[in-house]
Amino acid sequence: MDVPLRLLEYFVAVAEELHFTRAAERLYIAQPALSKAIRRLETELNVQLFVRNRQGVALTDAGRRLLPVAHRMLADFDTWLRDAQAARNAAERVIRVGYHSMVDSTLLSAINKEFARLRPDRHIDLRLGDWTDPAGRVLQGQVSAALLTLPIPGLERLDYEVLIRWRRFVGLPAGHPLAARSSLRLEDLRGEDFIALPTSSGPLQDFWLCTEQFGSRPRIAVEVDNSEDWLQAVASGLGVALISESSARIYQRPGIEYRLVEDAPPSEFAVIWRRDDTDPVLRDYIRACLAAAESTAESTAESTA
C-alpha cells in the first residue's frame, strides 16, 4: 500500500473543514485536484472516508477513526524530520536557508559577514526554491530559515522579522505605452493583463496582483513558478507584473522596462522560521539578519543624505 503523507494532509484538511472548496483554499490547491487526491486515498485504502452531499461532506465512521491516526502520523513524521535535519546540520556544521528570488547582494553579504562573526564554525547553505512552495521549504523542515517576501501561508506555525521594505515597480514589455512615463499609479494598470504567481503561493499571489487595491483580481495572462519564467513572460509581451525595487535592480533584461508604481503598498522582505524551532544556531542567524538589515539601512541613508 502506497499512501503518501501529502494525501493524509489533504484528508485532514477536508475532515476539519468538511467542505472541499474551503479545504482547497486552506491548502492553496485547486478544488478538482483535491477531490482527485481524496479519491486516490480512498482507492488506496479501499474504504470510503467521506459522504458527499449538497451541504458539503461528512466523515464516515472509517473517516472519523482515521482522523486521529492521521494527526499522529503527521505529527510524528514532522518531529522525526526536524530532529533528523537538525542532526544532519550539526554534523555538517551548516545552516540551510531557503529563498525564492535573488536576494539584494549588499544585504546578503552583510548577513553572511555577521553570521560568520557569530558562528565562525558554521557556514550558510542557500537553497533556491520556487513560488509553488511559498514558505520556502521551512514548514517541511528542509531548511531552518528562509529569506522571503511576505505574505505567505502557514504563518500560524511560523515567526518572522521584516528586514527591509521595498517600493514596488511594474515590469513592462519594451515599447509598452506606459513605459513612456517616468512613474505610474495603480489606476494606470487597470485593465492590463498580469503575469501571476501560482495559485499555490496563496496570499502572495493576490499581494503581487494588488487585488485588494484594485477591488478585484485583475485578468491573469499566465501563472509562473519562478523568476526566469516571470522575466520571459513579461519580455514576451504576455502581460505586466509588479516587482520589488530590489528585484527590479537585479533582474535587468533586454525587452523589459521597470517603472515605479507610486501608490502600491511596499513589499516586506523578511526572514522566517518555524515557531517551535529553538536551535541556538538559528537564533544567531536571525540576529545576523536583523543586524545586517540595520547596518544596510544606515549605509543607504548615509549614501543618499
Q: What is the pTM of this model?
A: 0.78
Tell me the C-alpha distance between 195 and 47, whole Å: 42
Q: What DSSP letter does each residue of 208-242 carry, written as one string?
A: HHTHHHHSSPPPEEEE-SSHHHHHHHHHTTS-BEE
- Our separate counts of H helices and E strands in the chain read 11, 13
CA 169, CA 159: separation in Å to the nearest integer? Answer: 27
* Alpha-carbon gap, residue 267 to 138, rounded angstroms: 20
Q: 93-165+268-304 and 168-265: same fold?
A: yes
Residue 152 in contact with residue 99, Cβ under 8 Å?
A: no
Dist CA 214 CA 220 (whole Å): 13
- Per-residue pLDDT 10s for the chain (305 aa) are 677 888 999 999 999 999 888 888 788 777 888 999 999 999 999 999 999 877 779 999 999 999 999 999 988 988 888 778 778 877 778 999 999 877 888 999 999 999 999 999 999 999 988 888 888 889 888 899 999 999 988 888 899 999 999 999 999 999 999 999 999 999 999 999 999 998 888 889 999 999 999 999 999 999 999 999 999 999 999 999 999 999 999 999 999 999 999 999 999 999 999 998 889 999 999 999 999 999 888 665 554 44
Cell numbers 527591509: residue:
164
**What separation, in Å, do the N-terminal and C-terminal C-alpha atoms of the chain show?**
66
Q: How far apart are CA 97 and CA 83, in angstroms?
A: 17
pLDDT at residue 86, as a whole number: 77
Q: Which residues contact 48 (CB under 8 A, 6 or more apart)?
A: 42, 60, 62, 63
What pLDDT was estimated at residue 5?
A: 87
Q: Are 171 and 240 spatial neighbours (Cβ–Cβ below 8 Å)?
A: yes
Q: Contact 118/284 with Cβ under 8 angstroms?
A: yes
Q: Output the pLDDT for position 28.
A: 75
C-alpha 205: how far from chain center: 9
- Give 56's contacts (C-beta < 8 A, 6+ positions apart): 18, 19, 20
**C-alpha–C-alpha distance, residues 22 and 14, integer Å:** 8
Task: Select the CATH number that applies to the domain covering 168-265 from these four: 3.40.50.2300, 3.40.50.720, 3.40.190.10, 2.170.190.11.
Answer: 3.40.190.10
User: Which residue in 291, 300, 297 sits closest to 161, CA to CA?
Assistant: 291
Q: Nearest-CA neighbor of 135 among 230, 81, 201? A: 201
In the prediction, which pLDDT does 298 show?
A: 67
What is the predicted pLDDT for the residue at 100?
86
Q: Which three-class secondary structure state does DSSP give residue 264?
A: coil
Asked if 199 and 223 touch (Cβ cutoff 8 Å), the reply is yes
pLDDT of residue 299: 64
**CATH of region 5-80:** 1.10.10.10
Q: What is the predicted pLDDT for the residue at 305? A: 42
Q: Residue 288: which region, alpha, beta or left (left: phi > 0; alpha: psi -120 to 50)?
A: alpha
Domain 93-165+268-304 fold: D-Maltodextrin-Binding Protein; domain 2 (3.40.190)
CA distance readout (Å), 99 to 15, 171, 297: 32, 21, 21
Which residue has 522575466 as its cell numbers? 231
How many CB atoms are located within 10 Å of the residue 84 CB?
11
Q: Write down the domain spans for the chain.
A: 5-80, 93-165+268-304, 168-265
Report strand pairing: 256-261 vs 168-173. Answer: antiparallel
Cell representation of residue 74: 503527521
